[in-house]
Structure 1
Amino acid sequence: MSEFTSMAFGSAWGVKDWDESSIAPIIAREVQNSWRVRGMGDFAVGARECGSATGMLEKWKVLREDEIQKLEDVKWIGYVGVRDATTTSMAVGDTSQPTTRPWQQMIELRYGFHPEVWGKGFGTEAAKAIMGWCGKYIGAERFIAEIEIENLGSGRVLSKMGFEEIEKEKEVIWGMEGTKEWKIWVGR
């Protein structure tokens, strides 16, 4: 689990040993704040067996809205989400003024996956799906993302999808040391 936590949140985050009573209020707050304001947030990503006797992760597919899946038949492998970053994004050294960009241009793409599925295309597929949904139903104009510099896999995922590194001389979103910031415009 420490590999997943470090990959998802950076090596400085550390592994937390939380029980359900300590994490439940945090999750409830985050879900409520994300979904209530803009109608977007995080989704769990699971792999399911699709007629293969050789293993759950060898064959998989995205469920259609009309398909039913028993939760106990899913192997949970990570998360993907989007959120309005205008409430979390501020220029370096400025903690009083959020960005002046419209929120549709500041939609943060977030994801994290268990190490056993790294390099198998799950991140790219899940990110493409959530970005397509967000563009169609939320009106996304631009997505942004931040990764730890040492997280080369996440950089490859973003690059494959057409994201470009943000030039720090022209724009700073989070300005966290040890990170790279990325962007992609929808439909350009």
Structure 2
Amino acid sequence: MPSSFTPFVLVTDRMVFVPNPIAVSIKAYRALFKRLHEDHTFCDMGFGDSFPARPWTDDEIRDLLQSDVTRGWGGKNMGDFAVGLLPCNSSEGDVLHRKRGRQLGPSASKASIIEDSQLADADAYADVEWVGYACARDGTTCIPPLAEGDAPLPPWQDMLEMRYGIAPEHWGKGLALEASKVVVQWAVEERGARRFIAETQKANQRSGRVLEKLGFKKVDTNYFQEKDVLDEWEMVAA
């Protein structure tokens, strides 16, 4: 866990968002992440040929998650969140909601941020149903290097990459949009994000619709240098 990281989670009425420095130690979440990246439908839609589905070991998944911890949370203190559904009418869900937190953003916000060292204990999430992940990270660390003569990139606050992945059995339930809204709000309120970028496979109309509902617009930036297969998007924070 990065020395600069203070354990916290984001919570709504039905969802919990656990940062990767904690989530990497949660066996059930690693199992979900493993299953997603072995699923051809999920990988084809999200990554195309750049990251095909294949068998993974638990150690490989841990290393994959740890790379985000090191690069993202160890840098600008942002990156992937494990997204889970809170248990209904259970002591665990009640405990998370009873913990003293603070409202995230404006008074209309339905999300809270809870900071507590006990949240670093993986056992605290034993009854959570893990459904996917959502991410806001420094996009300048995730795109190909600039070629000679290219214009310099904007400041990192204007290059927050938004991404998400939801298990196929939960598609069509609005979870991707709901989760993304919370993580975007967190990045704006807690990290000073001003502008977000994203990329989707051209054939991935489902993700494109989610981004449009978030307020993204398709642009011709070519940050990812794969115009033939990717659409690029941006959203300026309100």
Q: Same fold (TM over 0.5)?
A: yes
Alpha carbons of structure 1 residues 185 and 95: separation in structure 2 relative to 1, 3 Å: same
**Alignment-derived partner of residue 180 in structure 1:** 231
Alignment of 1:22-61 (within 5 A): 22-51=60-89
Contact 2:111 2:182 in 1 (8 A): no
Task: Using the TM superposition, give the Cα deviation of residue 161 of structure 1 relative to its aligned residue in structure 2, in angstroms.
Answer: 1.1
Residues 29-65 of structure 1: CA deviation (Å, up to 9, x unaligned):
221110011010100111234249xxxxxxxx96763
Number of residues of Structure 1 aligned to a counterpart in Structure 2:
175
| Counterpart among 174, 183, 191 of residue 121 in structure 1 | 174
1-side partners of 2:149 and 2:63: how far apart?
27
Task: Using the TM superposition, give the Cα deviation of residue 5 of structure 1 relative to its aligned residue in structure 2, in angstroms.
Answer: 2.5
Alpha carbons of structure 1 residues 28 and 136: separation in structure 2 relative to 1, 3 Å: same
Amino acid at match of 1:65: I
Contact 2:135 2:163 in 1 (8 A): yes
2-side partners of 1:85 and 1:64: how far apart?
23
1-side partners of 2:205 and 2:89: how far apart?
33
**Alignment-derived partner of residue 139 in structure 2:** 85
Name the one with the larger helix percent.
Answer: 2
Alpha carbons of structure 1 residues 107 and 64: separation in structure 2 relative to 1, 3 Å: closer
Alpha carbons of structure 1 residues 125 and 98: separation in structure 2 relative to 1, 3 Å: farther
Contact 2:44 2:52 in 1 (8 A): yes
Q: CA RMSD in A?
A: 2.8
Task: Using the TM superposition, give the Cα deviation of residue 11 of structure 1 relative to its aligned residue in structure 2, in angstroms.
Answer: 4.8
**Does 2:75 match 1:21?**
no
TM-score (norm 1): 0.81
DSSP-derived class of the 1:73 partner? coil
DSSP-derived class of the 2:186 partner? helix
Contact 1:43 1:81 in 2 (8 A): yes
Amino acid at match of 1:126: A
DSSP-derived class of the 1:9 partner? helix
Alpha carbons of structure 1 residues 64 and 88: separation in structure 2 relative to 1, 3 Å: closer
**Does 2:124 match 1:74?**
no
Runs of 4+ aligned structure 1 residues displaced above 3 Å come to: 61-64, 66-70, 95-99
Alpha carbons of structure 1 residues 127 and 96: separation in structure 2 relative to 1, 3 Å: farther
Task: Using the TM superposition, give the Cα deviation of residue 3 of structure 1 relative to its aligned residue in structure 2, in angstroms.
Answer: 2.0
